[in-house]
Amino acid sequence: MNVFKYLNYRQWLKDYLESKPHKGRGELSKWAKCCSVHPTLMSLILRGDRDLSLEQAHALGGYLELTPLELDYFIHLVQFERAGTQEFKKHIQKKLDALKLQAVEVKNSFTHESELAEEAKLKFYSSYIFSAVRLYCDTQKEGRTFDEIQKKFNISRLELLPVLQFLVETGLIKTKNERYLLGPSRTLVNRGSPFVIKHHQNWRIQASLKSEKLKEDELMFTCPMSISQNDFENFKQELSEVIQKFSKMLKDSPGEGLGCFNLDWFWVD
């Protein structure tokens, strides 16, 4: 729910409730608790009989995990409703317009290209989560919802929101009917790129964490050895052929789950 599209904080809160499972049943009590008020008062606020205080708006925005910019805008929306004069309303309106503009500038900070620019690659390869979320959006034909992604990776809204924002802005994912789908942009990098090193590191860390709770249908194999130069080269060739077959298979494989394949074959110095 994009709070920057609203000029009435009550309407945004009502629409927020409507967007939640079971229309946000039980949420009002949680809102009241975080604002240290009775649930009846929260109902009166939504009806328009009472207003949130600025302190309550700050507490509620924190509970809803608004970003700093969203929280600032939300508090100003409350101020706008509480304003006693038209002059003060005009003053708050200017503040709201400035915050909207700032939100647009953040949204347009990256350009949408068929292949990621260097600045975007720097951010994309800073953490495995960007790649993981992008690929997870392709595990259902109709895409994934925000709540599904949040549940899959068990991260807060404040952590997930900038990830999705970046992926959408760069075209790595796209949105349709409140769902996220794989986008047209690509993430290919050359073998010598420093981003490849970071990419390897990101996913090997995930493999290490996964090794502690490996399932029966999963596989990990580690085998340090002594081996001849000739056998080393021959096996490298066989692995290259396997990778080629694997890559061809992926092109026609429907996305049903999120997997990771790491392969290492190197001399121990």
Domain that holds residue 22: 3-107
Residue 63 is assigned to a structural domain of this protein: yes
Kindly report each contact of residues 147-154 with a partner whose C-beta sits within 8 Å and lies 24 or more positions away, as own/partner: 147/21, 149/180, 152/258, 153/129
Residue 251 is assigned to a structural domain of this protein: no
Residue 146 is assigned to a structural domain of this protein: no
Q: Which pLDDT does position 44 carry in this prediction?
A: 93
Residue 226 is assigned to a structural domain of this protein: no
What are the C-alpha distances in Å from 29 to residues 48, 194, 229? 17, 50, 69
Residue 195 is assigned to a structural domain of this protein: no
Pick from 162, 186, 160, 159: nearest CA to 173: 186
Q: Which pLDDT does position 175 carry in this prediction?
A: 87
Q: Which pLDDT does position 106 carry in this prediction?
A: 54
Residue with tokens 């929306």: 77
- 191 pLDDT band, cuts 50/70/90, is low
Residue 153 has pLDDT above 90, yes or no: yes
Q: What is the mean pLDDT of residues 59-83?
A: 92
Residue 109 has pLDDT above 50, yes or no: no
| Total count of domains within the chain | 1
Residue 151 is assigned to a structural domain of this protein: no
Q: What does the alpha-carbon distance between residue 99 and residue 123 come to, in Å, rounded to a whole number? A: 25
Residue 117 is assigned to a structural domain of this protein: no
Residue 189 has pLDDT above 90, yes or no: no
Q: How many CA atoms lie within 13 Å of 260's alpha carbon, on the beta-carbon side?
A: 22
Q: What is the mean pLDDT of residues 93-121?
A: 73
State the CATH number of the domain containing residue 48: 1.10.260
Q: What does the alpha-carbon distance between residue 17 and residue 83 come to, in Å, rounded to a whole number? A: 25
Whether this prediction's pTM lies above 0.75 is answered by no
Residue 249 is assigned to a structural domain of this protein: no
- Report whether 143 contacts 179 (CB < 8 A): yes
